[in-house]
Amino acid sequence: IAVGVPRESVPGERRVALVPKVVGRLRSAGLNIVVEPGAGGGALMSDWLYEEAGATLGDPWACDVVVKVAAPTDEEIGRLKPGSVLIGFLGTDQAQALATADVHGLAMEAIPRISRAQSMDALSSQSSVAGYLAALLGAQHLTRFYPMLTTAAGTVPPAKTLVLGAGVAGLQALATARRLGAQTTGYDVRPEVAEQVRSVGAKWLDLGIEARGEGGYARALTDEERAEQLKRLNEAVIGYDVVITTAQVPGRRAPVLVTEDSVTAMRAGSVVVDLAGESGGNCELSVPGEVVVRHDVTIVAPLNLPASMPESASELYARNVQALLELLVTDGRLNLDFDDEIVASACVTRKES
Ligand code: NAD
What digits encode the pLDDT tens for the residues 115-136? Answer: 999 999 999 999 999 999 999 9
Residue 260 φ/ψ region, left for φ over 0, alpha for ψ in the -120 to 50 degree band, beta for the rest: alpha
Average pLDDT of span 27-37: 95
Residue 279: per-residue pLDDT: 93
Residue 188 CB less than 6 A away from ligand 1: yes
Residue 127 CB less than 6 A away from ligand 1: yes
Q: Is the pLDDT of residue 76 over 70?
A: yes
What digits encode the pLDDT tens for the residues 83-105? Answer: 999 999 998 888 999 999 999 99
Query: Torsion over CA of 116, 120, 122 and 127, rounded to 10 degrees?
Result: 50
| Residue 131 CA, ligand 1 centroid: distance in Å | 13
Tell me which DSSP letter residue 72 carries. Answer: P
| Residue in 113, 172, 217 to alter for ligand 1 test, most ligand atoms within 8 A of Cβ | 217
Residue 233 CB less than 6 A away from ligand 1: no
- Helix, strand, coil percentages, rounded to 5, for the chain: 40, 20, 40
Q: Alpha-carbon distance 83 to 276, whole Å?
A: 36
Residue 249 CB less than 6 A away from ligand 1: yes
Contact present, 85 and 103 (Cβ < 8 Å) = yes
Q: Is the pLDDT of residue 336 over 90?
A: yes
Looking from the CA of residue 124, the nearest atom of ligand 1 is: 26
Q: What is the ipTM of this complex?
A: 0.94
Interior/surface letters 139-151, b for 16+ CB within 10 angstroms, e for the rest: bebbeebbeeeee
CA distances 224 to 212, 229, 252, 254, 303, Å, are 16, 9, 18, 17, 31
Q: Alpha-carbon distance 66 to 76, whole Å?
A: 11
Closest CA to 21 of 332, 312, 326, 329: 312
